[in-house]
Amino acid sequence: MYTLSSSELQMMPIQFGFQLETKFYMEGKMTQKPDQPVLYYEFYSSAQTNHIHVVPDGCVDVLFSCDSSGQIAEVCGSVLMPRTLTFQTNMRYFGVRFLPGHGIGAIPLKDWIEQRIKLQDILPSSSESIAQISSAVHFEERVHVFEQLLLPQMLGEPLPQLVHYCLEQITNRRGCIAIHDLSQYTGYSARYVRKKFEETVGFSPKLFAQIVRFQHALHMIMKEELDLLDIVHEQGYYDHSHFVNNFKKFSHLSPQQLRTELSRLRHIRGADHVLSTSYNGRASF
């Protein structure tokens, strides 16, 4: 069974739209169970808008609406470009984010890309569990019910060794690695590595590396004390323009625009709204 590396424990992909465009966002990473590579989070959709921006992260999420009048659970695959998703207004959502490389059950990772599928269509016996999660009173209770009733059914099969190795190398290098390097490390041709990666994950190792680098830049932008030029250097971009262009490709915002919006929300709502809430003693970033 695949276990979390030290780098993965340090970097959990961010969906900043959940933090900026919803109310009462909180999250907590479970690290005492390394065979369960998930992030739990929760937010309340606004009455003013039901549109939330999402960005590429390479993850599969499961979202539960916490409403006793009609429970809904959806599995959402990673987008490849920034998108706007529609949610119900005035609704509390509980989410579970599986780390990159982890699918749901026997369905291949590639089949989740850009998809929103009802959980009941995948696990017909999940209706009662969904109802329990939706009607639970507290965040911790929802986590407990999910881990006891649904998580064991969702953990997918181990990845092919080659794909697992490439994912680990890309993650450990913060996305700063070329397909040529992966070819040299594995002893396979670049064409073969790319083919096997795409067959399993659904997109190329080059794109995954770009997404990982983008996500690391997001983490660094959240830290107000870091200068943008420091991020350019740390993340291996050619120059500031290269950084901005790549960042906007995946977010439709420039790094400075995102930082300005975060600062505005920190001022209005307080830092706790846009920073993660620790669960079981460890914050996610």
pLDDT, tens digit, for every residue of 57-116? 999 999 999 876 667 899 999 999 999 988 888 889 999 998 887 777 778 888 889 999
Task: Give yes or no: residues 26 and 113 share one domain.
Answer: yes
**275 belongs to a structural domain:** no
- Domain of residue 28, CATH code: 2.60.120
Q: What confidence category does residue 213 fall into, taking pLDDT thresholds of 50, 70 and 90?
A: very high
**193 belongs to a structural domain:** yes
Task: Give yes or no: residues 209 and 144 share one domain.
Answer: no
Task: Give yes or no: residues 135 and 64 share one domain.
Answer: yes
151 pLDDT higher than 60: yes
Task: Give yes or no: residues 10 and 150 share one domain.
Answer: yes
Task: Give yes or no: residues 131 and 28 share one domain.
Answer: yes
**86 belongs to a structural domain:** yes
Q: What confidence category does residue 45 fall into, taking pLDDT thresholds of 50, 70 and 90?
A: confident
Q: At which of 123, 154, 185 does a domain end?
A: 154
**70 belongs to a structural domain:** yes
| pLDDT for the residue 225 | 66
Alpha-carbon distance 106 to 147, whole Å?
A: 18
Task: Give yes or no: residues 145 and 211 share one domain.
Answer: no
Q: Which domain holds residue 144?
A: 6-154
| pLDDT for the residue 196 | 95
Mean pLDDT of 19-32: 75
Tokens 């794109």 belong to residue:
207
Of 184, 276, 267, nearest in space to 222 by CA: 276
**266 belongs to a structural domain:** no
**268 belongs to a structural domain:** no
Task: Give yes or no: residues 102 and 19 share one domain.
Answer: yes
Lowest mean pLDDT segment, chosen from 9-13, 158-162, 174-178, 202-206: 9-13
Task: Give yes or no: residues 167 and 44 share one domain.
Answer: no
Task: Give yes or no: residues 86 and 107 share one domain.
Answer: yes
179 pLDDT higher than 80: yes
DSSP type of residue 89: S
Alpha-carbon distance 72 to 95, whole Å?
A: 12
- Domain of residue 173, CATH code: 1.10.10.60
**Residues whose CB is less than 8 angstroms from the CB of residue 181 and which lie 6 or more positions away in sequence, other chains included:** 169
Alpha-carbon distance 83 to 61, whole Å?
A: 15
| pLDDT for the residue 33 | 52
Q: At which of 126, 154, 182 does a domain end?
A: 154
Counting the structural domains of the chain, the total is 2
Of 190, 201, 114, nearest in space to 156 by CA: 201
Task: Give yes or no: residues 105 and 236 share one domain.
Answer: no
Q: At which of 154, 184, 200 does a domain end?
A: 154
**56 belongs to a structural domain:** yes
**273 belongs to a structural domain:** no
Task: Give yes or no: residues 130 and 167 share one domain.
Answer: no
Q: What confidence category does residue 190 fall into, taking pLDDT thresholds of 50, 70 and 90?
A: very high
Task: Give yes or no: residues 129 and 179 share one domain.
Answer: no
Rounded to the nearest 5 degrees, what angle is found at the Cα of 222, between the Cα atoms of 220 and 224?
Answer: 90
User: Is residue 247 packed enough to be buried (19+ CB in 10 Å), middle (13-18) or exposed (0-12)?
Assistant: buried
